[in-house]
């Protein structure tokens, strides 16, 4: 149940962030043209993180990847809250990368925790 709750909450944050990211970036002081450019960084960050998962992170247990993914968005949010507009791109990259890993973790983590029979 806890794993299902974590996956549901991370998907909620990811989906909500997709809709509200431009407004959030504008609210912290990013210029309108910059907001569009930064918003466009999220999807490439997801793909880059999936490639990292395919290469380097596949050697680690899936729990490590899931923990890393779950920490990336909050880390970016703290940086954005503390430092504001100068780190909007870092926030978008961390959010996108974390979301990219979570897509993989949703498939690999249950198998790792519960085995094929579970």
Query: How many structural domains compose the chain?
Result: 1
User: In angstroms, rounded to a whole number, what is the distance separating the alpha carbons of residues 51 and 79?
Assistant: 25
Task: Judge contact between 102 and 45, C-beta under 8 A.
Answer: no
Q: What is the pLDDT of residue 103?
A: 82
Q: Is 92 a member of any domain?
A: yes
Of the pLDDT bands very low, low, confident and very high (cuts 50, 70, 90), residue 10 is confident
Question: Each residue of 42-81: pLDDT tens digit?
Answer: 989 988 888 888 888 778 888 888 888 889 989 999 999 9
Within-domain flag for 115: no
**Residue 101 reports pLDDT greater than 80:** yes
The model's pLDDT over 23-40, given as tens digits with 9 standing for 90+, comes to 999 999 988 889 999 989
For the entire predicted model, the pTM comes to 0.83
Which ranges of 28-87 does DSSP label H, i.e. alpha helix?
A: 32-39, 42-55, 62-83
Q: Flag whether 116 is in a domain.
A: no
Query: The domain containing residue 100 runs over which residues?
Result: 2-109
**Dihedral over Cα of 72, 78, 84, 86: its sign:** negative
Assess whether pLDDT exceeds 90 at residue 104: no
- Rounded to the nearest 10 degrees, the angle between the axes of helix 88-114 and helix 62-83 is 160
Place of tokens 């490639």: 51
Residue 118, domain member (yes or no) = no
Residue 99 located in a structural domain: yes
| Structural domain includes residue 61 | yes
């Amino acid at each position: 149940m806890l794993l299902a709750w974590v996956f549901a909450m991370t998907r909620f944050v990811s989906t909500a962030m997709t809709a509200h990211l431009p407004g959030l970036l504008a609210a912290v002081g990013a210029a309108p043209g910059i907001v569009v450019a930064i918003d466009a960084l999220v999807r490439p960050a997801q793909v880059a993180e999936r490639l990292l998962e395919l290469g380097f992170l596949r050697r680690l247990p899936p729990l490590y990847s899931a923990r890393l993914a779950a920490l990336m968005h909050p880390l970016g949010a703290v940086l954005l809250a503390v430092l504001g507009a100068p780190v909007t791109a870092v926030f978008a990259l961390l959010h996108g990368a974390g979301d990219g890993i979570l897509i993989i973790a949703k498939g690999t983590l249950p198998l790792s925790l519960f085995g094929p029979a579970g």
